[in-house]
Amino acid sequence: MSSNIRVPQQERSIEKKNKIIQAGYELFSEVGYYGTNTVEIAKRAGVSTGIVYGYFEDKRDILICVLEIYIDKVYKPLAQIMERTSRPVDVRKLALAMIDKTIELHEQNAKLHNTLHSLATTDEAVNAQFISLENKITEQASKQLVKLGINPENITEKVHLAMNIVQSYAHETVFDSHNYIDYAKMKELVCNILVELLK
């Protein structure tokens, strides 16, 4: 029963719940969801196995909470950049800021990102969360750009596409796997594309 799950109101409890989520965050990042077991999560969080099930329905429930944290971590900084942008917009500068922040976020979360994305294939709730995240980002950015005077024609498609391109690029850069690629040059290309797209 979901009703048996503790909704921690005391500070200490919230702290403990967060510790477990944090432990899950780390372990899922390091060795994936299936490479992590509940005993390990408990150990890392510094609690007993049993109490984990005092705070979470099951292992998947921890994942869902980790996902929430992840989404917050990713969404907020990007939203902030958009919010803080004011007229007149320097699209190139804005693009650059978004790229750099996305890279930074990816550096911290790339492995978890992959793990979560793969689980989205089998878990509808996880998938739904991801979709909703993209919705939120696209919507917020679109509105803000229009407000800032960007041509509103097909703005949603443009922004969504821009987001994907930036994501792709950040992923590339972080994993830095292709040594024949000049990532600085590529960044410039990405910037150009974004500028062109939103002009």
Partner DNA sequence: AATGAATGAGCCTTCATTCAT
Partner DNA sequence: AATGAATGAAGGCTCATTCAT
Stretch of 46-54, 105-113, 119-127, 147-155 lying at the interface with DNA (CB under 7 A): 46-54
CB of 194 to a second copy, least distance (A): 10
Binding site partner of 47, from a second copy, DNA, none, Cβ cut-off 5-8 A by kind: DNA
Residue span binding DNA (CB under 7 A) among the ranges 35-43, 111-119, 152-160, 179-187: 35-43
114 interface partner picked from DNA, a second copy, none, CB below 5 to 8 A per type: a second copy
Q: Please report whether residue 32 would count as binding DNA according to CB under 7 A.
A: no
CB-based contact 82:144 (threshold 8 Å): yes
> Least Å distance between CB 148 and DNA?
47
- Give every CB contact of residue 92 below 8 A, 6+ residues apart in sequence: 191, 194, 195
Q: Does 73 bind a second copy (CB under 8 A)?
A: no
Q: Is there a contact between 79 and 145 (Cβ–Cβ < 8 Å)?
A: no
Footprint on residues 56-115 left by DNA (CB under 7 A): 58-60
46 vs 149, beta carbon nearer DNA: 46
Q: Which two tokens stand for residue 58?
A: 């099951």
From the CB of 60, what's the least distance to DNA, in Å? Answer: 7
How far are the Cα atoms of 8, 15, 16, 18, 108 from residue 12, in angstroms, in the given order? 8, 5, 6, 10, 27
Distance spanning both ends of the chain, measured CA to CA: 53
The sign of the torsion formed by the CA atoms of 126, 129, 133, 139 equals positive
Alpha-carbon span 69 to 94, nearest angstrom: 25
Count of chain residues binding a second copy (CB under 8 A): 43
Only segment of 43-51, 63-71, 84-92, 126-134 that touches DNA (CB under 7 A)? 43-51
Q: Does 50 bind DNA (CB under 7 A)?
A: yes
**Residue 193 binds what, of DNA, a second copy, none (CB under 5 to 8 Å, by partner type)?**
a second copy
Contact status: 80 vs a second copy (CB under 8 A): no
DSSP letters spanning 5-24: S----SHHHHHHHHHHHHHH
Token digits of residue 99 = 């790229």
* Length in residues, the chain: 199
* Residue 124 is a binding residue for a second copy (CB under 8 A): no
